[in-house]
Amino acid sequence: MAVLPIVHHPDPRLRQRTRPVTDFGADLQRLIDDMFETMYAAPGVGLAANQVGVRLRLAVMDCSPDKAQPQPIIMVNPEILAQQEPSLVEEGCLSVPGAQEMVKRFHRVKMRAQDRQGQAYELEAEGLLAQCIQHEVGHLNGQLYFDLLSELKRERLLKKLQKERDEA
């Protein structure tokens, strides 16, 4: 396994919609393992393939409160089927380091995806896991969490990020 470089905003690869996974062979298995290694090393609770420069509909997550007992989840070709109970939550992103904002997410979601072997499954989630699912599916659709902000808040955040890049 290897830790992969994480793509940072404003890299245009983060804005591209990802392609469906059709090949569940050894390359995909290696990518999944590398993505988990990268996510845990960051550290983060979720990582989409386009965040490591791969344009596939694949994301990995682990929202377990105890990292000694991991609960890894693989979402291949995920789609959100239902969302309930909108709420404001604080959110950040490995591709936008150092920035967190309050965004509207749904407290409960139902989604369908495939596992690493291509077997379809459905999952109902709430809280942090529901938030993470929405965040990662957003990435796979070319969206970033700050797209959910008002135009004024988004503009302030983007100016702050640009200033930090200029000073680096």
Written in H, E and C, the secondary structure of 12-52 is HHHHCCCECCCCCCHHHHHHHHHHHHHHHHCCCCEEEHHHH
Res. 139 pLDDT band, cuts 50 70 90 = very high
In a domain, 108, yes or no: yes
If you average pLDDT over residues 28-32, what whole number do you get? 98
Residue 23 pLDDT: 98
pLDDT of residue 65: 87
Lookup result for tokens 């957003």: 138
For 75, the domain range is: 12-167
Q: Residue 4, SS3? A: coil
Q: Is residue 136 part of a domain?
A: yes
| Per-residue pLDDT tens over the stretch 31-72 | 999 999 999 999 999 999 999 999 999 999 999 988 789 999
Residue 144: CATH number of its domain: 3.90.45.10
With a cut of 80, say whether residue 22 has pLDDT above it.
yes
Residue 102 located in a structural domain: yes
The verdict on residue 118 lying in a domain is yes
**Is the residue at 5 inside a domain?**
no
User: What pLDDT is stored for residue 40 in this prediction?
Assistant: 96
| Confidence band of 27 (pLDDT split at 50, 70, 90) | very high
To the query of whether residue 79 is one of the catalytic residues in this protein, the response is: no
Q: What is the pLDDT of residues 73-110, one digit of tens each?
A: 999 999 999 999 999 999 999 999 989 999 999 999 99
Q: Is residue 117 part of a domain?
A: yes
Out of 37, 122, 136, 151, the active site residue is 136
**Entry pTM:** 0.95
